[in-house]
Structure 1
C-alpha cells in the first residue's frame, strides 16, 4: 500500500509531522495539520489506515511534550493520569468505530472540526495569550466532570477522528478545573498520551498502521513536540495562535477542494 509513495511526499509528511508536534505541544491541535496532510499524501489509503498511521506518529510528539512539561511545570500528575485512563477507555471505543468510517464522511467531519476551532480562536483572541491566576485545588465534583468530559468524551472523539483533541482538552481542562493555560496544556499532553495509547493499540491489532510511513514521521514529530513544549514554557502561545489560524484556513480550503472541487 505504500510502494507508490515518493521520497518527496514522505519528506513533506515528515515536515508536517514536525510542525504538528510543535503546534500540538504549545497550544494543541497538531492533528489539524497532520491528519489532513496524511489524507493528501496518502490519497489511495483507506481512512482506517490514515487514522492508524496518524496515531502511531502523534504518540511520539505528545509523549515527548508530556515529559517536558512534567519536568518543568507544576502539574497535578495524579489527576491527569485519572483523566487519562478514562480517556484511554474512550479512545479504545472510538477507534473501534473508526474502522467503519468512509472517506466521504471523514473529510466533512474534519472540516467541521477545523471550522469550529477556527471560530473559537478568532472570537476568543485572548485565548492562550497569558496564563490566569492559579486556582485552588479542584473539587471532587469538578474532577469527576473532567473525567467524564475530557476523559471519556474527548477520548472517544480522539479514537474516532482525532484532529483538535489537544486543543479541546486544553479548553475543557482550563474551563472545568480552572487551570491556567500552561498547566492545562501540560496536563492535556499526559491525557492525550493515554488516548493515543488506547487508540494505537486498537489500530495495531487491526493491522491498520502504515509503519513504513509512520516511523520516519514519528522521529520528526517527537523533535517537534519536545521543542514546542520548551518554547511554550518560555514564550507563550501568541505566535502559534496566528500560525494555527493560517494553517486551519489553508487546510479547510484544501479539503473542501478535494471533497467538492474538480
Structure 2
C-alpha cells in the first residue's frame, strides 16, 4: 500500500513537470525500477507510458484551448514520431541502451548552455519556417525524437521544446504545447508495442494515470498562468537534473 502510494505521488509530480517541459519519465522510471527490480524493463516502460499518455492528453486539450498550436506542423511531426517511437520500442530489447548515455549527456549539456546563455531564447515567437522546408523539418524532428523516445526516453520533451524554439521560431509556451501533441503520439506508439509484446501492469497503470492526469492539470495551469519565463527556468532545471543523473550513471562504474 505504501509503495503504491509513492508511485501515485510520483505519477502526480511527473504529470505536473511533464505538462510544462517534459521529463516525467525522469521521476517515474526510477521509481518503477526500484519498486519492481525483477520485472522486465519493457513491462515497466509500458506501464509508465500509459500513465504518461493520459497526462499528456490532458495537457494537449488544455493547451489547445489557450494556445494557438500550429496544427499542421504538430500533426506532421506527430505522425512521423509515432512511426519512429514504434521502431524505437522494438529496439529496446535488441540494443544496449548504455551506448546512448554519453551522447545524450553531451546533447543535454549543449542544450542547457545554449538556453542559459541566450536570454531571449523562447521569449517570443519569431518568423517560422514555411512551405516544404517546414514540412521536411517537422518530419525529421518527429522521426528522430520519436525513435529516441521509443528506445531511450529521458529528455524527450526537453529536446522537442528546444527544437521547436531553435528551428521553428516558437516561444516557450507555444513550443511546450506543440511538444505535447508529438509526445502523445510517441506514447501511444510505445503503448501499442509494449501491450502486444511484453505486457503492461494495467491496474497499476490506471491508478498512476489518474494521478498523472491531475498533475498535468496543475502543470498546464502553472504554465499558462506564469508564461515563458516560468517555463524557461523549469526547462533549465529539468535539463540540469537530467545531466546530473546521466553523468552519475556513466561515472558510477568507473569509481
Q: TM-score, normalised by structure 1?
A: 0.83
Q: Which residue of 2 aligns with 1:217?
A: 208
Cα distance, 1:40–1:261 mapped onto 2, change above 3 Å = farther
1:201 paired residue number: 192
Give the alignment's Cα RMSD to 1 decimal: 2.8
Following superposition, the deviation at residue 106 of structure 1 comes to 4.0
Separation (CA, whole Å) in 2 of partners of 1:133 and 1:247: 26
Which residue, out of 129, 140, 146, partners 1:138? 129
Distance 1:188 1:238, change over 3 A: closer
2:68 equivalent among 47, 66, 74: 74
Q: Which residue of 2 aligns with 1:4?
A: none
Shift of 1:136: 3.3
CA distance in 2, matches of 1:182, 1:11: 32
CA distance in structure 2 between the aligned counterparts of 1:155 and 1:180, rounded to whole angstroms? 22
Instruction: Specify the alignment match of 2:42 in structure 1.
Output: 48
Following superposition, the deviation at residue 50 of structure 1 comes to: 1.5
In structure 2, which of residues 87, 92, 116 is the aligned counterpart of residue 93 of structure 1? 87
Gaps of 5+ in 1: 1-6
Residues 218-227 or 206-215, more deviating: 206-215
Change (3 A) 1:143 1:245: closer
C-alpha contact 1:111 1:255 (8 A) present in aligned 2: no
1:36 paired residue number: 30
Give me the whole-angstrom Cα distance separating, in 2, the residues matched to 1:208 and 1:219. Answer: 20
| Unaligned stretches of 5+ residues in structure 2 | none
**1:260/1:212 Cα in 2 relative to 1: closer, same or farther (>3 Å)?**
farther
Instruction: Provide the rounded CA distance (Å) in 1 between the counterparts of 2:143 and 2:101.
Output: 20
- Please give the TM-score of this superposition, normalised by the length of structure 2: 0.85
Assess, with a 3 A threshold, how the Cα gap between structure 1 residues 151 and 199 changes in structure 2: closer, same or farther: same
Residues 1:79 and 1:100: Cα distance change in structure 2 (over 3 Å): same
After the TM superposition, which residues 222-233 of structure 1 pair with which residues of structure 2 at under 5 Å, given as runs?
A: 222-233=213-224
Change (3 A) 1:31 1:176: same
What is the CA–CA distance in structure 2 between the aligned matches of 1:219 and 1:48, rounded to whole Å? 21
CA contact under 8 A between 2:128 and 2:170: conserved in structure 1? no
